[in-house]
Structure 1
Amino acid sequence: MPPSATTEPHSRAALPLAPSLDPALAAARMPRQFRPLSGRVAWIAALAMGLGALVALVARLLTALIGLVTNLAFHGRWSTAFGSPMGHHLGAWVILVPVAGGLVVGAMARWGSRAIRGHGIPEAMEQVLLNESRIPARMTWLKPLSSAIAIGTGGPFGAEGPIIATGGALGSLLGQCLRVTADERKTLLAAGAAAGMAAVFSAPISSVLLALELLLFERRARSLIPVALAAAVGTGVRYVLEGSAPMFPMPAMPTPGLLALAVYMAMGLVTGVASVGITKLTYAIEDAFETLPVHWMWWPALGGLVVGLVGYAMPSTLGVGYTNIAAVLGGQLGLGAMVALCLLKLLSWSVALGSGTSGGTLAPLFTIGGAFGGVMGAACVAWAPWLHVDAHAAALVCMAAIFAGASRAFLTSVVFAFETTQQPQGLLPLLAACAMAYLVSGLLMRHTIMTEKIARRGVRVPADHVVDHLERISVGEACSQPAVTLDASRRLAEVRAWLAAGGVQTHHQGFPVIGEDGRLLGVVTRRDLLGQAPGEAMLGSLVTRTPLVVREDHSLREAADHMVEADVGRLVVVGGEHAGQVVGMLTRGDLLAAHTGRLRGEREATRSLRTRRA
């Protein structure tokens, strides 16, 4: 240690320490430097593109299967045309069709896999968070088959839910068959899910955003690029098979004025409250099923009974309901029809989902939200034309806002509504309304419709995607300086005497050891120095492992990862005027102390808010 670095008075028996030389660090272990991309990303991206094409074809097969079951169950004909149960001639017997579908799904869940129950995304989230994105292989056929039966027999769900779940399962299976890391497997899972959604709705950008907001829990180039390419390929295959027309065509929207924009924001707020109520209602119904004195295998059939009764009263509530969304956005339904569709679809869907059948949430929420907004828009047009609210726009913004509030997939909701309608004038009111719904949901509800189920099982789901605080701080800013280095040729008795003398230098728990040639040999701890070794032993004999070093310009995240991988509690910091100069030590305590600034800012913000309220 340089004389300038010591403040020991001459009356203290200060031990002469090794000078800060430029030691050879050939044997030292450095942390891995962060790289935004590597050659592996190109390989994963290629796999994701192939997966995207496969999932798009699977999506086409699944919609054909849903069409086949629908035509057989309601129309008695052999056809794979993707149609609606409406127009059937079953009369009151239609009530029993969803019951029969529920019986089959319940049996598949009991003797196949319970994981087919529900809408799929929470289960995928759970596998990402707890099981390194490993979805059982049987889910690649059990989930789509059970969903096709549930939807084809009148279940009030969209085809996108099971396709997203199936795409994710295929991506996970591919990752399990190849030699990839857990993060790469997660990327493939998200790529398959995004490709599935893109293939159904022709909405590649919102599909990528859905994967980012609900599955990846990160936004890094290594995951974003493969997911984006998978969604692009999935959409391209859909263009070839079904064309590029918007999923939900609607009349051109006018540019909203300031007053109309304020109304759309208010609608987003009201819809956000409604989304909270719908989420709580759904899980309250699920809790009610838990209290029934019958095995859960029979619950989908009981839920199917409600679906059948509602479908008998209003046939348009049966099945996927994409035509309902198009009718609401296109202004083809009157006020009474939209009120009935909103309430009865909510009843049918919430009971069916709460019963544990195999279904989804996107299309039902879009139908309910669109009808809800259509009612408010029609009321504004009829009773307050001076607001200049467009009824079609009101339906569109509430369709997106209800999903933003229920799932908090904010960006997904905004972009999805734009992509599926191709209405650029709708982006501004969509942004405002979805932001309001997101705000209300965050204030009134801790968990979302996607996370409540797994949160009840003790799974912690990240709510925000934030920059790693440790990534923003360099080692040089946080390490303890100056370094207290020891000469390897010193006898242990001398070092112990120096420690016993005390002083500002001796509070350290670890000391770099420098050899005669200036080489950094390693680190000894206070425990090593005060252990059982004889006093005549040379200090260098206590060094037993390769030195672990970190440069001043490394980030604290890189240093922390280096500590974890090496299972140590401190690192030697090198830098200064020479690349190998020992300048300090970095400990676990330094890593914790680095959070002080962040926590201080949060405390000051909270204190300021409380002062204003007082």
Structure 2
Amino acid sequence: MPSEIASGQTTEGLPVAPSLGPALLEARVPPERALVDARVVFICALSIVIAAAAGVVAQALTRLIGFVTNLAFYGRVSSVFVSPAANRLGPLVILVPIAGAVVFGLMARYGSAAIRGHGIPEAMEQVLLNKSRIPARVTVLKPVSAAISIGTGGPFGAEGPIIATGGALGSLLGQLLHTTAVERKTLLAAGAAAGMTATFGSPVSAVLLAVELLLFELRPRSLIPVALAAAAATAVRIAFVGIPPAFAMPNIAQPGEAALAVYVVLGAAVGVAAVAVTKIVYAVEDAFDHLPIHWMWWPAIGAVAVGVCGYFAPHTLGVGYDNIDRILSGDIAGEALLFLGGLKFISWSISLGSGTSGGTLAPLFTIGGALGGLLGEVVARSFPHLGVDPRIAALVGMAAMFAGASRALLASVVFAFETTRQPIGLLPLLGGCTASFLLSCLMMRNTIMTEKIARRGVRVPGEYAADFLDQVTVGLCASKPVVTLNADDLLEAVRGWIAGHGQGSSHQGFPVVDAAGDLVGVVTRRDLLDPERQGSARVRELIRRPVAVAFEDSSLREAADHMVQEEVGRLPVVSRAAPHKPIGMLTRSDLLAAHRRRLDETHVAEQSLSWRTLTRE
């Protein structure tokens, strides 16, 4: 008999009425779930440690990329983060990305194939299929390989590998300690959020991205550690680089109603483009899959496109954060913007399709910003009275491209605000990103983050709704009145009652009570009809285990979890005031039937108020 029941507590240590302690000595009651507990505090502490480590790793990776860039493009030894665009290699620049891709391919084949790709889909797969267990060597190989890939001109952002490495750190610590799969997932998400925050100084959007792409839930026990990790990573970033925004953007004016409408339409157009971008990326990946050579050499083939594009448009090489600054500041426009955005897309899509390591956020922002800026410029010139600012259009395009490609709506809106510190842009961002999100949902089943793992048969949650069973109490769904059997009844008499189709005899399980009406156990129809049991036996002799019960005010989720833990298909329902008096019976069928209300609320359309009634009122 568990000590916590004897003391009048549930298995999670939450007190129930003291008077229930003695009454529950023989009954197994469902645990009452707490929002947070001491274990959550422990996970919070671990998350802060992970965030500090991820923040340092982010700065180290940035410097490592700078070191490789300086060495590969300028022939100097320096860790200063620079753009490869000012190189003077001429046509020889084409060879630099190819050399880096060869090294990356060797690392992927002989180190770990898990370092291929931009990191977030791979982390999602580990969360969904492998209980958030990321191989330990990925923690080292991912950032090093990404530094080589990006430092030699790969058209990726540093944020992807940093996010993946932060997640790997969280997973590694979770594997070294005794943690549950849910706790490891939280630590992985905390590390990923810390990595993104340390890169861009965007803690709120990092938390939202973790919720939308990694946690697939919004519960205090996971949200609090991730939020604390993002806050801690922000402090680390401030210690290294100060508090300036990630992207410099001049102050903008409040847009009028007509301009806001244009930004929403622009966001929708970018959403269509995001769908096209996603499909093209995976079409390129499919093309590489059909090549008759080992995948180790695919990045080198993709790097040819990177080098050629880099020769004609040097600013397509590397992370390109400076490109985003120039686009948002309006320093680049017209044909130059079209040229940069088009070649960046060609370079990035081919390289990503080849399996090279790198982030997708910065390229998507560059492509989306270029498209938004171009569309805004066209509208501003054609219809100047609408008051459209091409810089705001670029900001909306940047965020809408990511919202449409990843469907991380809230993260996209908040990220664009946090990285530019332009609050006036929030309303255009909200409208434009939502329009992009809508078009993406209508036109595309999976996203740029989920298509790869969906092809492997992984089902990725696309909606995050409150558990319906957690909103309904047991008392509303239990079968009443309860049909009980007397513990001292002869089995022969009970069988006769069943054979005669007596009232209530069709049930598959029956609570058993003693002479005082107190619950002593549960027997099933199979037990009662077992031919090996003699008719002279008493019903109480068929009871094989302590009775498990559900309180009438427990949630159906608590009851369902209790059924799983106790390995039973039905629970007698009792009240807290009289915990030994059965008042109902809850079965698995009752749990399924409860979903009828949810389905009706979702699919049954009805008119609750007529116009005639409304006019009378």
Code of the aligned partner of 1:124: A
Match of 2:603 in 1: 603
Q: Does the CA contact (< 8 Å) of 2:519 and 2:581 recur in 1? A: no
Match of 1:379 in 2: 378
CA deviations 1:8-64 (Å, max 9, x no partner) are: xxxxxxxxxxxxxx9943210011112111111111101101111110001000001
Measure, in 1, the Cα distance between the counterparts of 2:127 and 2:41.
22
Q: Does the CA contact (< 8 Å) of 1:23 and 1:520 recur in 2? A: no
Match of 1:425 in 2: 424
Code of the aligned partner of 2:249: M
Measure, in 2, the Cα distance between the counterparts of 1:61 and 1:304.
25
Match of 2:584 in 1: 584
Q: Does the CA contact (< 8 Å) of 2:518 and 2:580 recur in 1? A: no
Code of the aligned partner of 2:547: P
Measure, in 2, the Cα distance between the counterparts of 1:192 and 1:171.
5
| 1:565, distance to aligned residue in structure 2 (A) | 1.1
Larger mean Cα displacement after TM superposition, 444-453 or 476-485: 476-485
Match of 2:295 in 1: 296
Measure, in 2, the Cα distance between the counterparts of 1:338 and 1:256.
23
Question: 2:224 aligned with 1:225, yes or no?
Answer: yes
Measure, in 2, the Cα distance between the counterparts of 1:192 and 1:449.
22
Q: Does the CA contact (< 8 Å) of 1:69 and 1:153 recur in 2? A: yes
- 1:557-568 superposed matches below 5 A: 557-568=557-568
- 1:396-411 superposed matches below 5 A: 396-411=395-410
| 1:606, distance to aligned residue in structure 2 (A) | 11
Task: Go from structure 1 to structure 2 and tell me whether the alpha carbon gap of 1:605 and 1:451 turns closer, same or farther (over 3 Å shift).
Answer: farther
Code of the aligned partner of 1:201: F
Measure, in 2, the Cα distance between the counterparts of 1:473 and 1:507.
26
Q: Does the CA contact (< 8 Å) of 1:158 and 1:364 recur in 2? A: yes
- 1:506-545 superposed matches below 5 A: 506-516=505-515, 518-531=517-530, 532-545=532-545
Match of 2:188 in 1: 189
Q: Does the CA contact (< 8 Å) of 2:163 and 2:193 recur in 1? A: yes
- 1:68-217 superposed matches below 5 A: 68-217=67-216
Match of 1:9 in 2: none
Measure, in 1, the Cα distance between the counterparts of 2:22 and 2:329.
75
Question: 2:240 aligned with 1:244, yes or no?
Answer: no
| 1:255, distance to aligned residue in structure 2 (A) | 1.1
Q: Tell me: higher relative CO, structure 1 or 2? Use CA pairs within 8 A at least 6 residues apart.
A: 1
| 1:365, distance to aligned residue in structure 2 (A) | 0.1
Give the count of matched residue pairs.
Answer: 587
Task: Go from structure 1 to structure 2 and tell me whether the alpha carbon gap of 1:577 and 1:193 turns closer, same or farther (over 3 Å shift).
Answer: closer
Shift >6 Å, 4+ stretches = none
Q: Does the CA contact (< 8 Å) of 1:23 and 1:517 recur in 2? A: no
Code of the aligned partner of 2:118: H
TM-score by length of 2: 0.94
- 1:15-34 superposed matches below 5 A: 24-34=23-33
Measure, in 2, the Cα distance between the counterparts of 1:223 and 1:403.
25
| Structure 1 unmatched runs, 5+ | 1-21, 609-614
Match of 1:313 in 2: 312
SS at match of 1:511: strand
SS at match of 1:505: coil
Measure, in 1, the Cα distance between the counterparts of 2:234 and 2:302.
34
TM-score by length of 1: 0.94
Match of 2:341 in 1: 342
Q: Does the CA contact (< 8 Å) of 1:25 and 1:519 recur in 2? A: no
| 1:516, distance to aligned residue in structure 2 (A) | 3.7
SS at match of 2:174: helix
Match of 2:17 in 1: none
Code of the aligned partner of 2:565: E
- 1:440-519 superposed matches below 5 A: 440-516=439-515, 518-519=517-518
SS at match of 1:86: helix
Task: Go from structure 1 to structure 2 and tell me whether the alpha carbon gap of 1:607 and 1:175 turns closer, same or farther (over 3 Å shift).
Answer: farther
| 1:188, distance to aligned residue in structure 2 (A) | 0.3
Measure, in 1, the Cα distance between the counterparts of 2:440 and 2:404.
5
Measure, in 2, the Cα distance between the counterparts of 1:501 and 1:535.
16
Match of 1:363 in 2: 362
Code of the aligned partner of 1:101: G
| 1:89, distance to aligned residue in structure 2 (A) | 1.6
SS at match of 1:581: coil
| Structure 2 unmatched runs, 5+ | 1-20, 609-617
Measure, in 2, the Cα distance between the counterparts of 1:38 and 1:387.
54
CA deviations 1:494-516 (Å, max 9, x no partner) are: 11111122133111111111124
SS at match of 1:568: coil
Task: Go from structure 1 to structure 2 and tell me whether the alpha carbon gap of 1:23 and 1:207 turns closer, same or farther (over 3 Å shift).
Answer: closer
- Percent identity reads 61
| 1:604, distance to aligned residue in structure 2 (A) | 2.2
Code of the aligned partner of 1:286: E
| 1:518, distance to aligned residue in structure 2 (A) | 4.4
Measure, in 2, the Cα distance between the counterparts of 1:233 and 1:123.
25
| 1:249, distance to aligned residue in structure 2 (A) | 1.3
Measure, in 1, the Cα distance between the counterparts of 2:22 and 2:522.
14
SS at match of 2:84: coil
SS at match of 1:585: strand
Measure, in 2, the Cα distance between the counterparts of 1:311 and 1:577.
76
SS at match of 1:504: coil
| 1:285, distance to aligned residue in structure 2 (A) | 0.3
Larger mean Cα displacement after TM superposition, 381-390 or 515-524: 515-524
Code of the aligned partner of 1:348: S
| 1:517, distance to aligned residue in structure 2 (A) | 5.1
Match of 2:594 in 1: 594
CA deviations 1:201-232 (Å, max 9, x no partner) are: 00000000010000000000000000001000
Measure, in 2, the Cα distance between the counterparts of 1:456 and 1:337.
37
Q: Superposition RMSD on alpha carbons, in Å?
A: 1.5
